[in-house]
Amino acid sequence: MGKDGREGRTDRIDAVYRECGFEAYAKEIGILLGKEIPFAIDISLEDFGKLTDLLGGFSVFVPSPVDGVSPDGERWLLPFGVVTLDGDKIQTYVTYRTEGEDDSDVVSRRQTAVMSMLTAIHAQRAALLDKKNFPLYAEKLHTDLTEKNLYKLISYLSNINVETDHLIPQTIQGSLRRLPSTGETVLFPLFEGQLIKDVVQQAEDSLIHEGGSSYRYVLQVLNGTTVKGSASNASILLNGLGNFDVLPAADADRNDYEHTVIINYMQSDTSEALTALSNFITCKNIEHRPSSSLAGESNSDFTVILGKDWDGRYVRGGYVNPENLPQEETASEGGESAEASGASESAEVTKTE
């Protein structure tokens, strides 16, 4: 969803691209993400096909055979299984829509195609980065970058290994509404777009943080409430968080948790990951259970059990169970209480005398 500031109208965000070009579109995306986008690359569908052929084809998974006709009468034909598609077939792959599919299905395939392109760039980096060959690839990319900077960018992208670098495509969550002016159904991002900004900021922080751990933590979200879908939605939200691999959501042992809790099963120092998780959902209620003491209790490093204070994005209220406080903090608080008690008794005796 986007808003064309010149005309004061609400419309699909891709309307900016159609009417104003990719530079204005990139600027609008920057507003949505809360980040200035320093450059943009525009690839037409035709050039995407040509780039596919230059890179030797893109490997994708097609769950079932495709045999259909587009609204324009174009025949859609795709084999099923893990297949390497040429330029013509990849154009079909990113545009076809079968009966019962919606925009999210098409978007998912386009994300897959981009991931496959990165895989091919990595595999063909030697030929791609040859100074004699590079102009053949570069001419398919329309950008505001200089050729020198484009080369640097592609060189960097060619180092990305999709299989080992844990790239996770993100899906924008929101509610669908029909626009009275056009009759089109558009997606309005959750929390007025703040969720998108938070995910992007977290991803940026994890990229620029020096000395960060490359360890992948396993995280599971359990629904401890009666609100259906809470854990699934929270799992999608947390998929973009740092070094976490999120297990499928499930129900907790009961559905009447008052307060959300993060359970840490790790014995080693997990302060960085735990802080990132705690801050991202604003949950201060943390319970430490080293896995050795409860063997087999969990297959995850961290578990988040959602309570009634979970609003779909944040934990509200800042509750902390005193039993979950670190021992040193509890002891400190106890000492202060004892001193206060002693001072009170002393004052009472003085007054009596």
Domain of 160: which CATH number? 3.40.630.190
Same domain, 145 and 230: no
Same domain, 149 and 71: yes
Q: Are 48 and 114 in contact (CB under 8 A)?
A: no
Which band of pLDDT confidence, cut at 50, 70 and 90, is reported for residue 100?
Answer: confident
pLDDT of res. 6: 47
Same domain, 69 and 125: yes
Which band of pLDDT confidence, cut at 50, 70 and 90, is reported for residue 326?
Answer: low
Residue 2: inside a domain, yes or no?
Answer: no
Residue 12: inside a domain, yes or no?
Answer: no
Q: Identify the CA nearest to 299 among candidates 227, 233, 246.
A: 246
Q: Can you tell me the mean pLDDT for 205-220?
A: 70
pLDDT of res. 177: 87
Same domain, 119 and 236: no
d(C-alpha 350, C-alpha 202), whole Å: 57
pLDDT of res. 165: 76
Q: Identify the CA nearest to 220 among candidates 195, 205, 239.
A: 239
More confident residue, 4 or 175: 175
Whether the pLDDT of residue 135 is over 60: the answer is yes
Locate tokens 């204070």: which residue? Answer: 309
Which band of pLDDT confidence, cut at 50, 70 and 90, is reported for residue 8?
Answer: low
Residue 123: inside a domain, yes or no?
Answer: yes
Among 40-49, 77-86, 171-180, the least confident range: 171-180
Q: Are 155 and 147 in contact (CB under 8 A)?
A: no
Residue 98: inside a domain, yes or no?
Answer: yes
Same domain, 133 and 229: no
pLDDT of res. 333: 46
Q: Which of 15-29, 168-182, 229-243, 292-306 has the highest mean pLDDT?
A: 15-29
We report the CATH number of the domain holding residue 224 as: 3.30.70.2390
Q: Can you tell me the mean pLDDT for 238-248?
A: 81
Q: Are 235 and 249 in contact (CB under 8 A)?
A: yes
pLDDT in tens, 187-204: 888 778 888 888 788 777
- What percentage of the chain exceeds 90 in pLDDT? 48
Same domain, 159 and 233: no
Element at 8 (helix H, strand E): none
Dihedral sign (CA 230, 233, 234, 235): positive
pLDDT in tens, 272-319: 888 889 999 999 999 988 764 444 456 889 999 999 999 988 999 988
The DSSP bridge partners found for residue 289 are none
d(C-alpha 216, C-alpha 230), whole Å: 24
d(C-alpha 261, C-alpha 283), whole Å: 7
Query: Strand, helix or coil at 155?
Result: helix
Residue 266: inside a domain, yes or no?
Answer: yes
d(C-alpha 157, C-alpha 151), whole Å: 10
d(C-alpha 46, C-alpha 90), whole Å: 10
Among 276-285, 318-327, 333-342, the least confident range: 333-342
More confident residue, 177 or 140: 140
d(C-alpha 218, C-alpha 302), whole Å: 6
d(C-alpha 96, C-alpha 245), whole Å: 31
Same domain, 215 and 156: no
Task: Please state the three-class secondary structure of 185-222 as a single string.
Answer: EEEEEHHHHHHHHHHHHHHHHHHHCCCCCCCCEEEEEE
Q: Looking at 169, 187, 218, which one is the last position of a domain?
A: 169
pLDDT in tens, 149-190: 999 999 999 999 988 777 777 777 778 888 887 888 888 887
Same domain, 156 and 271: no
Which band of pLDDT confidence, cut at 50, 70 and 90, is reported for residue 5?
Answer: very low
Q: Can you tell me the mean pLDDT for 6-32?
A: 85
Instruction: Domain of residue 221: give its range.
Output: 209-320
Same domain, 55 and 161: yes
d(C-alpha 41, C-alpha 18), whole Å: 15
pLDDT of res. 324: 65
What are the angstrom distances between the C-alpha of 16 and each of 19, 23, 144?
A: 5, 9, 18
Q: Looking at 144, 169, 194, which one is the last position of a domain?
A: 169
Q: Are 317 and 284 in contact (CB under 8 A)?
A: no
pLDDT of res. 194: 83
Same domain, 150 and 243: no
Q: Looking at 169, 190, 220, which one is the last position of a domain?
A: 169
What are the angstrom distances between the C-alpha of 54 and each of 17, 48, 133, 338?
A: 27, 10, 10, 76
Same domain, 157 and 220: no
Q: What's the number of domains the chain is made of?
A: 2
Here the tokens at position 80 are: 């099923």
Residue 61: inside a domain, yes or no?
Answer: yes
pLDDT of res. 352: 34
Residue 346: inside a domain, yes or no?
Answer: no
- Mean pLDDT, the chain, rounded, equals 83
Same domain, 140 and 237: no
Residue 79: inside a domain, yes or no?
Answer: yes
pLDDT of res. 208: 66
**Could you tell me where the beta strands, DSSP code E, fall in 265-331?**
286-288, 302-306
Around Cβ 270, how many Cβ atoms within 10 Å?
A: 19
d(C-alpha 285, C-alpha 305), whole Å: 10
Around Cβ 103, how many Cβ atoms within 10 Å?
A: 12
Dihedral sign (CA 216, 217, 218, 222): negative
